[in-house]
Amino acid sequence: MKSLSAPVRRRHEDRPAPLRRSDIPAAAPGRRLGGTGSVLGAILDHGPVARSTVARLTGLSPASVSGHVGRLLARGLVRENAETAGPTGLGRPHVPVAIDTDGYLVAGAHIAVAHSTVSLMDLRGRIVAEDRQPHRTTEPRRMLAGLAARLPRLVAAHAGGRTVLALGLATGHRVDPVSGVIVAHPQLGWRDVPARAVLAAATGLPVHVDSHSRSLARAEQLFGEESTRTSTVLLFVGAVVDAAFATEGAVHRGPRSGAGSVAHLPLGAGGTGGAEPCSCGRSGCLQSEVSERAMVRRAAAQGLFASSFPELLERALAGDARAVALFRRRARLVGRAAALLLDMFDPEVLVVVEPGAGRIPECLADLRAEVAERSWVCDDPERAVVPSSFTGSVLATAGGAVALGALYEDPLGHWPALPAVS
């Protein structure tokens, strides 16, 4: 496979002009799925909103919308606000409906390489509380039991009387959401861990499990920028590096739950100061070049000693020139991978989950410049390449988004804490 780091020379006399996005006819907008889920999604997007407006937004009949809203009211997922008159003050008053955030929460858990995060999130995707702790063990059942044990304390301190509907678990690498199994997490040494079964037995809650990149892509489509709704590629760069592709609210998993495994995309050295060895036996893979561990190791090799990646990031945010340079190098390498993903999928938006791109303006500019230089399809990186909507709360968001994604997809499904509806 040709290295992504090969020098790019736009010599138009040697090859045909690239096909740009503006040359490609726009695809017809996708149809939003019908039913109660689409009504709940419209209320999330536009609430407080009148039922008549929901009908226009979803294409459903007013009578159908009234029925769906009635079921959502009965389940306690939406509420009616005070009546408002029409635009001219005449005619039948509107009774707008909105997401009810007073009755229910979801819990989230995210397992990173060095630590885990437990969180509470309301039904609009807002973090209510979070608790992050370093791993005391990497034995899977003991770690999952420890996560479950932390949840009651968080609920007692922060739920404010609201009921927790479900627990969402997110982590990196290969996760099968259908079986609830963490298929493989090499850095933790995990394989075929029945996470859903273990956590459901320990908490008594419905448990939903997915990869953190897919959960964050779904979070962007639910609660992030509207531009992500049509199609999105999400590139997650942390201790683990992976990706997700979502279109019209559906996230592609692949038959073996392996979609988005981009850790070993070859970058090579390519003028970046030497390729890093990778666990796969090669050198210059995306993850081995840009992961948190690689950043700390490269900093030490340059005489900049940081005890952890967060410390290195804080130095960059404080203006340490050597730390900033390391993050800018990382951004350029991530830009190479981003350009390839843009050309492969041609999404409306590519979301980069990486703290430099989210918090250091020079990094986002460098990343977009790399995309502009290398992508054949993306002709507007300023619009098409964006940082995460959840910078600063990414890990707390990831777990809760797994549960909320399931709720918004099937609000009338099996949710034991909610009243039954016909």
Q: What is the pLDDT of residues 126-143, one digit of tens each?
A: 999 999 999 999 999 999
pLDDT at 31: 33
* CA angle, 244 then 250 then 253, to 5°: 45
Tokens in use for 326? 């390391």
- Higher pLDDT residue, 71 or 270? 71
Q: Pick from 175, 184, 129: which is nearest to 151 by CA?
A: 129
Calculate mean pLDDT across residues 96-106.
97
Tokens in use for 404? 């909320």
Cα 57 to Cα 45, 52, 186, 347, 408: the distances in Å are: 10, 9, 44, 23, 16
Q: What is the pLDDT of residues 342-360, one digit of tens each?
A: 999 999 999 999 999 999 9
* pLDDT reading at 200 higher than 50: yes
> What does the alpha-carbon distance between residue 397 and residue 391 come to, in Å, rounded to a whole number?
10
At residue 281 the predicted structure's pLDDT band, cuts being 50, 70 and 90, is: confident
Type of residue numbered 113: V
* pLDDT reading at 91 higher than 60: no
> What does the alpha-carbon distance between residue 212 and residue 296 come to, in Å, rounded to a whole number?
22
At residue 34 the predicted structure's pLDDT band, cuts being 50, 70 and 90, is: low
pLDDT at 397: 98
Look over the chain and give the mean of its residue pLDDT values, rounded to a whole number. Answer: 89
Cβ neighbour number for residue 16 with a 10 Å cutoff: 6
Calculate mean pLDDT across residues 259-285.
76
* pLDDT reading at 171 higher than 80: yes
- Higher pLDDT residue, 94 or 100? 100
pLDDT at 249: 74
> What does the alpha-carbon distance between residue 398 and residue 412 come to, in Å, rounded to a whole number?
23
Rounding to the nearest 10 degrees, give the CA dihedral for residues 196, 200, 206, 209: -20
* pLDDT reading at 3 higher than 80: no
Q: What is the pLDDT of residues 389-399, one digit of tens each?
A: 999 999 999 99
- Higher pLDDT residue, 21 or 206? 206
Residue pointed to by tokens 């979803």: 58
Q: What is the CA radius of gyration of the chain?
A: 23
Type of residue numbered 265: L
Cα 56 to Cα 7, 38, 111, 233, 408: the distances in Å are: 51, 12, 41, 29, 19
Cβ neighbour number for residue 359 with a 10 Å cutoff: 16
* pLDDT reading at 268 higher than 80: no
Tell me if 285 sits within 8 A of 336, measured CB to CB.
Answer: no
* pLDDT reading at 402 higher than 70: yes
pLDDT at 274: 57
Query: For 12, which DSSP code?
Result: T
pLDDT at 331: 98
Cβ neighbour number for residue 142 with a 10 Å cutoff: 11
β-strands 163-171, 207-211 pairing: parallel
* pLDDT reading at 310 higher than 70: yes
Calculate mean pLDDT across residues 251-269.
86
Q: Output the pTM of the full model.
A: 0.88
At residue 82 the predicted structure's pLDDT band, cuts being 50, 70 and 90, is: confident
Lowest mean pLDDT among 70-74, 150-154, 213-217, 274-278: 274-278
Calculate mean pLDDT across residues 319-331.
97
Contacts of residue 14, Cβ cutoff 8 Å, sequence gap at least 6: none
Q: Where are the alpha helices (DSSP H) in 173-252?
A: 195-203, 212-223
Tell me if 108 sits within 8 A of 399, measured CB to CB.
Answer: yes
